[in-house]
Chain A
C-alpha cells in the first residue's frame, strides 16, 4: 500500500511569489491535514480537509489556503511568499473520519526555501 506522497520534495521561490504543494493520501483515506515545521516554531497545524471540506484551521494568515479534491488529493497554496514561510510542509492522512484515535500517516514533506 503506497504511503502519503508529497510533491515537490524541494523547491526554491523568491519573496512575493506563490507556491502550490500537492499531497496524495493513502488510498481510501479521506482526511488530509497539513503542518508547517520550522526550527523556531516547531510543528504547527495549518488545516485539515475531509470530504472536500475544510474542517479545522490553525492560526495562520489568509495567505495560506488549501483545498481537497473528490479523490481526496489535497493541495495547499501560499501566496505572496515571505522569508518566514521557509519551512518543511508536512501532509498527513487518516483513514477514519478524521481521527487522532487512529493514526496520522505523514508524507516526507515538501521543503520550501524562500529567498
Chain B
C-alpha cells in the first residue's frame, strides 16, 4: 500500500524567505511523485513530477523538489516566496500502474506574510 505524509498542515513564511514544504512517502514499489497546488475555489495544478529520471526536479513558478530514496522524501522548495504563492499544496504518489489513481497527502496551506 502507498501513503503520503505531509508534515505541517500550515506553513507561514515572510515574502522573500525560503519555502520548504515537507513530504514523505511510503511505497512498496518505486513510486512516481507529484506536487500539486490548489488556489481557493479552483482545481489542482501540477507543479512538478518525479518519474525516475533526475532526482532534482524543477517545476513551474520557481519551485523544485528533490527525490531522496534513502529518506523516502520529496520535499518542495522555493528560494524566495512571493505573495502569489499563498495556496494549498498537495504531495501525491502513484504506483506506476498507469492509471489515474493518485494517493494524496493531507495538504499544506502556505501563508506568505508581507
Q: Which residues of A contact B (CB under 8 A)?
A: 4, 31-33, 42-45, 48, 50, 55-56, 58, 90, 92, 94, 96-101, 103-104, 106-109
Contacts and interface: CB of A to CB of B under 8 A. Distances in A.
A114 B36 CA distance: 28
B43 A101 contact: no
B98 A98 contact: yes
A96 B42 CA distance: 24
B101 A56 contact: yes
Contacts of B92: 43
Closest 4 CB pairs of A and B: A33-B100, A106-B43, A100-B94, A43-B104
B20 interface: no
Contact of A99 (B46, B98, B106): B98
21 contacts: A4-B43, A42-B104, A42-B105, A42-B106, A42-B107, A43-B92, A48-B101, A50-B100, A56-B97, A90-B44, A92-B100, A98-B98, A99-B98, A100-B32, A100-B102, A101-B96, A101-B98, A104-B46, A104-B102, A108-B41, A108-B42
B100 A32 contact: yes
Nearest to A4: B43
Interface of B: 32, 34, 36, 41-46, 49, 51, 90, 92, 94, 96-107
A99 B44 contact: no
A14 B85 CA distance: 37
Nearest to A6: B43
B106 A31 contact: no
Contacts of B101: 33, 45, 48, 56, 58, 100
